[in-house]
Structure 1
Amino acid sequence: MSERVKEVAVEEFQQAKILTRDAVRSGAYLYPFRGILYFISHRSLWKPLLNKLFPTLSLGIGVTIFMFAFTYVPQAAILTVFNGPLAILTTIFLVLSESSTIFSVLSKNFLIDDALLDTFDGTLLSRNLTSLVSTERQVKSGSDPVAKLGKIMKRPFARFTPEAIIRYFIYLPLNFIPVVGTAMFVILQGRKFGPTAHARYFQLKRMDGRQKEEFIAKRQAAYTSFGVPAVLLELIPVLGIFFSFTNTVGAALWASDMEQTSSTSPNLREQAELAKKAE
């Protein structure tokens, strides 16, 4: 039995090492930060956020204050049994995570879903991907990428599902494990966040369920590496709303880079074939 346990541990370690290597090589973890820089330097992308800023900030502050006022002390008492002195920090993270989840459910369902969609499409237009965006919405003439956005043919962002809420609470007990458990919680959240950030891209590419699953499976490490820093950024109180938009920009930048890579690949293959014939 001990030998079998060792074999399983070695296999898991090797798999984790491969996933980590693939995640690092993908560079996907940089896109949340690229999204911040791109958003700040492109004022035309600010409009969707500014239109929703006041009600969303009010909601975020209200949810965070409520959660700390009524849930911090009892949860800290429970976590102290498992985490000892670290409970002060782990409880803060847990309450922030809970506040972020509640805020995400409310804001993305009732306040900023349209704004995030416009931000994603506007970023693609700013990267000259008009043909991609026009597959699912009207695109007007002009130089302002957000102002060019017309009527939407189909909405891609699914509302927060009961399964997602259940999954979140299943992951919560991980926070009872000092440090490692909290890290695992963030990674699992990030693993789900990554593909969700590309929901609009999958729709613009007109992928069916099977194609989408295959696409994600091939890039699972990259999507997780994108999701982890994105989740951490959105956990920041109040500023999380800002990072929701910059993460959307980062996801769109990643999608545009994917499009550029896929469009140049055939040309590279043709050049290689021509070179072989020339030889």
Structure 2
Amino acid sequence: MSAKIKETAQQELDRVRHVAEEGAKSGAYLYPLKGMYFFATHKDLYRPLLSRLAPTLTLGLGVTSFMFLFTYLPQVAVLVFTSGPLAALSTILLVLSESSTLTMVLSKALLIEDALVDTFDGTLVAKGQTALVAKDRQIKSGGASDAIARLGKLMSKPFANFTPSAIVKYFMYLPLNFIPVIGTVAFVVLQGRRYGPAAHARYFQLKGMSTTQREKFVEERQGAYTSFGIVATLLEIVPLAGIFFAFTNTCGAALWAADMEHKAGTAPALREQAKQAE
């Protein structure tokens, strides 16, 4: 039994190491940062964010007030045993982080899903992937410098990335935060593993992938999607700034998709050139 446990543990460690190495080599973790820069330098992408800013901030204020009112004292009572005299400060930071994360989950499910789709599609158009976006929505002519203005009516309903199950899983993982350092790291990694593929749900829809195809595509890039998701999750749990990072992360996911499309289109051309050279 002991040997079997050691073997299973070693296999899991090897799998985690492989995923981590794949994620580091992929460079996917840089796309949330690239998204911040691209979003900041393309003012036309601001409109979806600004259109949902007021209700999202109101939701965030309500969630934060609720969390401090009903969860601060129970959590500080638990953290007294793990953080000692720093329990009060640790609990404040924890509640702020929890409130930010919960606000993001609820706002994506209730308020900003359409705005995030517009941001994703607008970024693709800005990167020259108009043909890809045109597979599922009307694209208006003209206004080349304003990608959002060129977006027309959607032809189908976008995938529901944030369902009640996402909220349930969030609360299932939440107790991990009571474990100092290790528990918080585990919480972020688990959230990141879910976030990565969800960030490309719109891309999978535009590509017309079936559920099986999506699962295979993600499995082949598990490390890349996990590394992207971890960085994106860390950004979105920043109190107050989370709503801004939700849009920049979406922009980053679209930039990653655009690069995938560029590489997919370049590879056949290079093969053709090689054949002609022969």
CA distance in 2, matches of 1:119, 1:263: 23
Which consecutive segments of 4 or more residues in structure 1 shift more than 4 A? 82-90
Residue identity (%): 59
Asked whether 1:136 is paired with 2:159, we answer no
Aligned letter for 1:125? Answer: V
Aligned letter for 1:45? Answer: L
The answer for the alignment partner of 1:259 in structure 2 is: 261
User: Cα–Cα, structure 1 residues 235 and 153, in superposed 2: closer, same or farther, change >3 Å?
Assistant: same
1:184 to 183, 186, 190: 186
Q: CA deviation at 1:73?
A: 2.1
CA distance in 1, matches of 2:121, 2:196: 17
The answer for the alignment partner of 1:226 in structure 2 is: 228
Unaligned runs of 5+ in 1: none
TM-superposition CA deviations, 1:9-28 (whole Å, max 9, x none): 33222222211110001101
TM alignment of 1:46-61, pairs within 5 A: 46-61=46-61
Q: Is the 8 A contact 1:174 1:185 kept in 2?
A: yes
CA distance in 1, matches of 2:192, 2:103: 17
Q: Is the 8 A contact 2:159 2:205 kept in 1?
A: no
TM-superposition CA deviations, 1:169-201 (whole Å, max 9, x none): 222232232211110110000000011111110
**TM-score, with structure 1 as normaliser:** 0.91
Q: Is the 8 A contact 2:132 2:207 kept in 1?
A: yes
2:196 to 194, 197, 200: 194
The answer for the alignment partner of 1:216 in structure 2 is: 218
RMSD: 1.9
**TM-score, with structure 2 as normaliser:** 0.92
The answer for the alignment partner of 2:17 in structure 1 is: 17
Q: Is the 8 A contact 2:104 2:242 kept in 1?
A: no
With 76-85 and 177-186 compared, the bigger mean Cα shift is at 76-85
Q: Is the 8 A contact 1:191 1:228 kept in 2?
A: yes
With 187-196 and 54-63 compared, the bigger mean Cα shift is at 54-63
Q: Is the 8 A contact 1:61 1:237 kept in 2?
A: no
Unaligned runs of 5+ in 2: none
Q: CA deviation at 1:59?
A: 2.0
CA distance in 1, matches of 2:237, 2:52: 19
